[in-house]
Amino acid sequence: MAKEKVTLTLDAERLGALRKLVGSRSLSAAVDNAVDVYLARLRHFDAVDDWLAEMEREYGPIPPEALEWAAQIVDEWEASVKKNRRAR
């Protein structure tokens, strides 16, 4: 896979924490991995948006209560993922 050198401006505390965690391993590889994870998340949300648009075209508007319920489930899932990461 082709690589490209870029300049980034990152939060100093987060960068320091990342450097401490990756140690002698590649900082670039860690950031590249984080970008990959973030892109996967964005693609997933984009796919959900496409699916919701398709459902609206086929069945009409989605009730706000259903969207709020789904958002709550996603929020709870994300909170549990963060909690599990911190516990490691």
pLDDT score, position 57: 96
In a domain, 65, yes or no: yes
In a domain, 5, yes or no: no
In a domain, 8, yes or no: no
In a domain, 60, yes or no: yes
Interaxial angle between packed helices 12-22 and 27-59, expressed in degrees from 0 to 180 and rounded to the nearest 10: 110
Q: Is residue 48 pLDDT above 90, yes or no?
A: no
pLDDT (mean) for 66-77: 89
pLDDT score, position 24: 81
pLDDT (mean) for 46-64: 93
In a domain, 4, yes or no: no
In a domain, 15, yes or no: no
| 23 phi-psi bin (left φ>0, alpha ψ -120 to 50, beta other) | left
> How many independent structural domains does the chain possess?
1
In a domain, 62, yes or no: yes
In a domain, 13, yes or no: no
pLDDT score, position 78: 84
Domain coverage including residue 51: 28-87
pLDDT (mean) for 26-48: 92
pTM of the model: 0.69
Q: Is residue 88 pLDDT above 70, yes or no?
A: no
